[in-house]
Structure formats: C-alpha cells, structure tokens
Amino acid sequence: MAAAAPQPSAATPPPSRSFKFHGRTFLAFVLKPEMPIGRWIDEADSWLSRSPGFFSAKPVVVDVSRLLLTKGKLAKLIADLGSRGIRVMGLLGADPAWVDADLPPVLTPGRAMEPETSRETCEAPAPVKPASSSLVIDSHVRSGQTLFHDGDLTIIGSVSSGAEIVATGSIHIYGALRGRVLAGADGNTAAHIFCRRLAGELVAIDGYYRMAEDFPSDLLEEPAHVSLEDGVLTIKALD
Amino acid sequence: MAQVVVVTSGKGGVGKTTTTAALGAALAQTGQRVAVVDFDVGLRNLDLVLGAERRVVYDLIYVSQGNVKLSQALIRDKRLETLYLLAASQTRDKDALTDEGVAKVMGELRESFDWIICDSPAGIERGATLAMRHADIAVVVTNPEVSSVRDSDRIVGLLDAKTDMAARGERMEKHLLLTRYDPVRAGRGDMLNVDDVIDILSLPLLGIIPESEEVLRASNLGAPVTISNTKSAPARAYSDAAQRLMGEDVPMVFPSDRSGLFGKLFGRRAA
C-alpha cells in the first residue's frame, strides 16, 4: 500500500461508511508441487485427466516452500497451472519480495484440515444431506447420559442435572431442563430450545451459550423459550 | 417366583447395607425365604450389620468360581430362620467376580429363595454393575441432599442401560427409598424435602426412613434395625417399605417435625 491516499479537500463529501473490511478465514485446497517441476506437472496432468475440472472454480493455494525456484520459474509454474484451469489465489512459502501484479499474494500459513471432497470429481453430484429427522425420547434423560441427534429432538420427560443433549435442530423438553442442552449444533442459527421448566446448567444454540447464572432469574423454574436473535442468545418466557 | 432386588445408590454412605439388612429381615419376618448377598467385595460390611462376621467361612467368590456349593456358603441368621447371608470376600478384589460366575450364583439362589437382595457397592464400576445386572427390581437409596440425588439419577440411567432386563428391552421396576430423612432440617431448608427428591428422580416412593440413632445402635449391635427394635420409627418405616415391595398398599408415613415422628399422616400412597 505505497500509494498515498488522496487528501480529502473541503469540496469532497465526507467519506461514506460503506467501505468496511474485516478478517475472515476460508477453506482452500493447497497444492504442494515437488521437484522436478516438469515431472510433477506431468503427474498433475494424468490426475486431471481422470478428474477434469476438479480444481476449476475452487480456491487453490500453492505451497512452494519446498521448491528451489526463481521468480521467473515460479511465474511459469503459476501460468502452467492457469492453463490447466487451476487458478491460484495465493502462495505459501514464497519470497514476499517477488510478489507483484503478476503473482498471487503470499499467505501466512493457515491451519491444515482434512480435505473432505478430495476424492470427488466436479461431475459427481454434491452429496445430498439427508433430510434431518425428528426423534422423540419417551423418558427422562438421566445424569451422565448424553444424547446426540441429527435433527429435531423432543424429550417427553426431564433432562437431569449432569445430562447433556445435543441436536442439530431444535430441542423440545416437556419436563424440567436441568442439564446441558445444545441445539443447532452444526451451525443452525434458526434452532430453538423449548422447555416446560428452566433449571438448566447451560443452554446453547450454534455455539452461543449461556450458563445458569446468566439465566433471567424471573424465568427460573418457568416455561422458557431459547432462541438466537441477531447473534444474541435470548431466553424468553414461553407463553 | 423369586425376585432379585438390587439395593443401590451410586454414592457411598447413604445406607445401602443398612437397608439391605433391614429389608431382608423385614421380609423374612413375614415368612418369606430371603437371601441377602453382599457384592461389596473387598469392603464387606453386611456380615457385620447382620452380626454374622464370625461365621463367614466361604463367600460369594468361592461359590461363583465353583469351589464350594452354594449351601456351604450360605449363613443362616440365628434370629430368623428364613434369612440367609451370602457374604462378600474381604481379601479378594472385585475383579475376581465374573459375569458368568455371578449369573450362576443368581440362578441357584432363584431356585431356593423368594427374595434375593443384593447389596451393591458404591460407585458405578464393575461391582455395582454386576450387582444390578441380574436384578428384577431396584431399590434406589437416596439421602435428601443434592449429591446423593444426582448420583442416584446416574444409577437409574445405568439400571436402564446395563442390566439384563435392559438388554431384553424391558424396563426395570425401580423404587426410591429416602433414608436419613430429618424433618426438622428439611423444614429449615438444610435438606431437600421429599417432593424435591421425587420431582428430580421421578421414581415411585417405597418409603422414607427417618434419621435415627436406632439405626447406628442396631448396626453396632450386629442386628438389622427391623430386628433390634421393631417399635422404632426406622424399623416401622422399613417394615412398611418391605410390605410395599411385596405389593401391598400401605399408607405412606411422612416423618414430621412434631415430637412424635409419626405424628402426621398424609393421604399419600406409594405409587
């Protein structure tokens, strides 16, 4: 960012607030080419012939930390990949001094993750998530028991102190909620928790949680409805 | 048909052994043939409470390993001729008990007794799960305080998961026995009251045993409280509980904070 920012003159309107930015992490594929580059490109070609278009429209980062490259060779590698439909959005382990308009930006090392879709080709249909189901438990959930359900969960009974129930959808408890109850476990912010008596240790939706001491005191032992409103875990009376 | 009852609690010191002895004696007093079995291998106490500690020759482990016959290990009570004790081993550890061995002993006991009452060790480990495994009925002993109630709740979960009945998809009959209940302290709020405990555990109430010096005295005398002082409040409460276990409808007596512990009679019945 060497360019000097234009000085606002008295004539220009005050800068609008629409220009904002914030940090965010994303998932990307990381390619690790190996020396010699020529052979690695051949292997990539044979792999791509089996899964053509696998990398198209996917974010790809190239890790060059194990390569001995000059800037010219690196530019050629990026161009070779580009001609195969692999658009490189960033570099790992490259010399920051090389970076200019021709080369993608250098990224600081991120966290390694298991690529979940590495065996799929782009022709393969995206895996259809099974429609989440409802589960009804016709008993109490006792202390020390844990329950996980992918979908909505209804308990016709109480959830004891020391019990934990987790669901990806909403959770309905027709008895007392005394344990730990976590709804929307895989990022479902629209999940809710309902209970006939709020006396729990912890309630959470999509990772936003509240401990018992933060529960509204007028709702203790009362019917309650827990939801996420604008990123705030809200506990209201259930009328 | 023989009924196997496990007396269990999770927490230690709440009165499992006292209850096993008292219920066993109360059932035997009605003429039923009763065997009480100590599963607390390594920390046996039931023989002391029954006053039979000097008469233990063989124990549960000998029988379960097939070294002696069941009849050689059973100790007949000197006061009640239908009450028998199968003691635990004090010198072995609980790994000496095997599932097959316990199943064999339970099978033999079922042939010759009306009631087999298993005194579970505290905790949720092997000894406790073996004691509950073959049971038909559970008596969950709970003190009116939060840690005991939570541990009992945990045990109830295990009764529905780790027993033969649960494996067959049946639901075990479970009863709550509230022990060491002090109406004065419950009234002051120092203890949970009866309704709180029933509300949390959601189990039918088998009885409420009032806190009493009689219980301690009986243990030290080596006699179940239902034998040592049949007129005492805890003895009557245990006898009522035994009657309810046999399916009789006995009105529940709630210990009150009046001078007479049985001053108040509520209309509530055991569920």
Is residue B126 situated within a structural domain? Answer: yes
Task: Please report whether residue B129 resides in a domain.
Answer: yes
User: What local confidence, expressed as pLDDT, does residue B257 receive?
Assistant: 57
What is the structure's pLDDT at B27?
Answer: 97
Q: How confident is the model at residue B94 (pLDDT cuts 50, 70, 90)?
A: confident
B62 HSE (CA, 13 A, CB side)? 18
Of A140, A144, A163, the CB nearest to B202: A140
Helix (H, G, I), strand (E, B) or coil at B86: strand
Residue B32 maps to a domain: yes
For A3, which DSSP code?
S
Residue B79 belongs to a domain: no
Give the bridge partners for B34, in sequence order.
B83, B115
| A157 touching chain B per CB within 8 A | yes
Residue A64 or residue A13, greater confidence:
A64
Contact A139 B160 (CB under 8 A): yes
For residue A25, pLDDT beyond 70: no
DSSP A16: P
Using a CB-CB cut-off of 8 Å, the residues of chain B touching A158 are: 200, 202
pLDDT at A120: 40
Type and span of the H or E element at B78: none
Asked whether the predicted pLDDT for residue A1 surpasses 50, the reply is: no
Question: Which has the higher per-residue pLDDT, B162 or A111?
Answer: B162
Nearest CA to CA, how far is A185 from chain B (Å)? 24
In this predicted model, which residue has the larger pLDDT, A70 or B10?
A: B10
Residue contact A144–B160, C-beta within 8 A = no
Residue B27 lies inside a defined structural domain of this protein: yes
- Which residue among B154, B158, B161 places its CB closest to the CB of A162? B154
Q: For residue A14, what pLDDT band results from cuts at 50, 70 and 90? A: low
**What residue ranges define each of the domains in chain A, with the CATH number in brackets?**
29-98 (3.30.70.260), 133-237 (2.160.20.70)
Put simply, the answer to whether A145 touches B157 (Cβ < 8 Å) is yes
Encoded tokens for B171: 């639901």
- Report if residue B123 sits inside a domain: yes
pLDDT at position A184 over 50: yes
DSSP A159: B
Q: A60 or B31: whose pLDDT is higher?
A: B31
Print the domain residue range for B10: 3-39+111-265
Summarize the confidence of residues A63-86 as an average pLDDT: 80
Residues of B in contact with A201 (CB under 8 A): none
Q: Is A142 in contact with B157 (Cβ distance < 8 A)?
A: yes
Q: What is the mean pLDDT of residues B190-218?
A: 93
Quickly tell me which residue has 């080596």 as its tokens.
B222
Q: Are the C-beta atoms of B56 and B24 separated by less than 8 Å?
A: no
Is B54 among the domain residues?
no
pLDDT in tens, B115-155: 999 999 999 999 999 999 999 999 999 999 999 999 999 99
A19-23, A47-51, B3-7, B250-254, range with the lowest pLDDT: A19-23
For the stretch A116-145, pLDDT in tens is: 444 444 444 455 555 568 999 999 999 999
Q: Which residues pair with A236 in a beta bridge?
A: A225
Measured between beta carbons, the chain A residues lying within 8 angstroms of B157 are: 142-145, 163
Q: How far apart are alpha carbons A128 and B211 in whole angstroms?
A: 62
In a domain, B245, yes or no: yes
Alpha carbons within 13 A on the beta-carbon side of B207:
26
**CA neighbor of B143 nearest in space, from B85, B60, B200:** B200
Measured in angstroms, the CA of A141 and the nearest CA of chain B are apart by: 8
What CATH number has the domain bearing residue B14? 3.40.50.300
| Structural domains in chain B (count) | 1
Q: Tell me what pLDDT residue A128 has.
A: 55
Nearest to A144 among B157, B200, B202 (CB): B157
Q: Which of A145, A157, A161 minimises the CB distance to B150?
A: A161
Q: Which of B8, B151, B153, B159 to mutate to test the interface with A (most CBs of A within 10 A)?
A: B153
Contact check, Cβ <8 Å, A161/B153: yes
